[in-house]
A = this chain, B = another copy of it.
Amino acid sequence: MNHPAQPGSLKKPLPEMLLPALESVFGDRLSTTQAMREHHGSDESSYDPMLPDAVVFAQSTDEVAAAVKLCNEYDVPVIPYGAGTSLEGHVLALQGGVTIDLSQMNNVVAIHAEDLTATVQAGVTRKQLNQEIKDTGLFFPIDPGADASLGGMAATRASGTNAVRYGTMRENVLALTVVTSDGRTIRTGTRAKKSSAGYDLTRVFVGSEGTLGVITEVTVKLYPQPEAISAAVCSFPSASDAVNAVIQTIQMGVPIARVEFLDENGVKAINAHDKLGLPEKPLLLFEFHGSEHGVKEQAELVQDIAAEHNATGFEWATHPEDRSRLWAARHNAYFALLQMRPGYRSITTDCCVPISQLAECILETKADCEKNGMIYSIIGHVGDGNFHVLMMIDPHDPAEVGKAEGINNRMVARAIAMDGTCTGEHGVGLHKMDFLIQEHGEDAIGTMRAIKHALDPKNIMNPGKIIRW
């Protein structure tokens, strides 16, 4: 699939002096091979790769600062790269430049179990963090599905299945270490749980997708592992019934930890992929956290609500292995769907609306997919009003791409008209830049642009993403 940005015209040749200068810092952790550049020039979106001129593997904040200083000196783009799991073209090197791969910055810097915080280098993934804190009785809840890096999760303001209870990266990052566009290193906050001390730099950088600076360390909140966890699954005759059950659950204030919707297409795909034998109807997958009694109380309440909305086949998964199997299947949905149409790619989009609008937004989007004969699934973190549309397309067939983009455009327009947002958790990248204007209006975009110009006056930080210069 081609890039709307027509990047060829923007790409400048790399200044001759830069590579030797980078090599003196990174040695053999500098690479300019085609394979390495291709790997770093693409993500999970359906865009064709756009290659950086070079890739460096940083092992410390100081190395990131050195690389950024050099790029700043030579006016060369800098693209931060974590686990490469983004979905909207975030890491594509539209104008070439140097990709800073942070995956080797994978040390947990400090665990303060007594304060329920941890500080990690940006390349630490969520699974790694949870592994390393397992014995403390704490966990880090944010779970976007992919085993993303915490730096990347902060940069895209990621969330996922647990956000309905624990919030998103917006709520769970306490502080960041950031290398700014001129190569200075700042810390944006402290480990205090709250603060009124000046502008909220942490949240300026959370969600900035590498366009304002490179996140090199992340301090996050941790939570005590709940005394009891249980999960349940049930099926509904229609998507509308399922979503209305969720709306009622949220409106009643049930402190549910997870509630995931899969349409019948999603269920079919994970059945095929994980041999689950679930009824191939719209499905909700719940998880409850709390005390033994609290979990039971929540679950009974939710079961009653679901029954009112024609739920059938309520099944419990109280054993950790059953729960893991269900959640693994949920997280595999993306790959399971890709396997339904081998060789194709997925255009994966998301939006988020006020909860009362969710059923209407999903149903209209579903009808649009059906009408256009799309191979698709709708899957969602529905407790937050957030859902995804995964559309399987041949990225080199302009007709299919056009159809999928049309569905995407109409879904976003629908969400914005409902006072919702063009992306709940995937971010803007280069795919949703026009939607961002549609959502915020030119004046608010002007305010964003003023911030970009102030913090990255040379436009070297992941240029061409979020907003046009």
A299 to chain B, nearest CB (A): 13
Residue contact B447 to A201, C-beta cutoff 8 Å:
yes
Residue contact B352 to A436, C-beta cutoff 8 Å:
no
Residue of B nearest to A226 (CB): B253
Residue A186 at the chain B interface, CB threshold 8 Å = yes
| Number of copies of this protein chain within its complex | 2
- Give residues of chain A (445-468) contacting chain B, Cβ–Cβ below 8 Å: 445-448, 450-455, 466-467
What CA separation (Å) do A274 and B189 show in the bound complex?
Answer: 39
- Give residues of chain A (176-196) contacting chain B, Cβ–Cβ below 8 Å: 180, 184-196
Determine which of B204, B223, B441, B446 lies in contact with A451 in the assembled complex, contact meaning CB atoms within 8 Å: B204
- Give residues of chain A (107-154) contacting chain B, Cβ–Cβ below 8 Å: 112, 114-117
Residue contact B168 to A194, C-beta cutoff 8 Å:
yes
Residue contact A196 to B427, C-beta cutoff 8 Å:
yes
Residue A297 at the chain B interface, CB threshold 8 Å = yes
Determine which of B185, B204, B455 lies in contact with A443 in the assembled complex, contact meaning CB atoms within 8 Å: B185
Determine which of B185, B197, B423, B447 lies in contact with A440 in the assembled complex, contact meaning CB atoms within 8 Å: B197
Residue of B nearest to A193 (CB): B384
For the A-B complex with A200-B206, A291-B294 known, give 13 more contacts whose Cβ atoms are closer than 8 Å. A192-B352, A194-B352, A194-B386, A195-B421, A197-B421, A197-B423, A197-B436, A197-B439, A198-B467, A224-B252, A226-B253, A294-B294, A447-B455
Q: 24 A-B pairs, CB-CB below 8 angstroms?
A: A114-B247, A114-B251, A115-B357, A116-B250, A156-B196, A187-B444, A190-B421, A190-B439, A191-B419, A192-B386, A192-B415, A192-B421, A193-B354, A195-B424, A196-B207, A196-B424, A196-B425, A196-B428, A199-B207, A199-B451, A199-B452, A201-B448, A291-B297, A454-B454
Smallest CB-CB A-B distances: 9 pairs: A224-B253, A454-B454, A203-B203, A195-B421, A115-B354, A114-B356, A192-B352, A186-B444, A450-B454
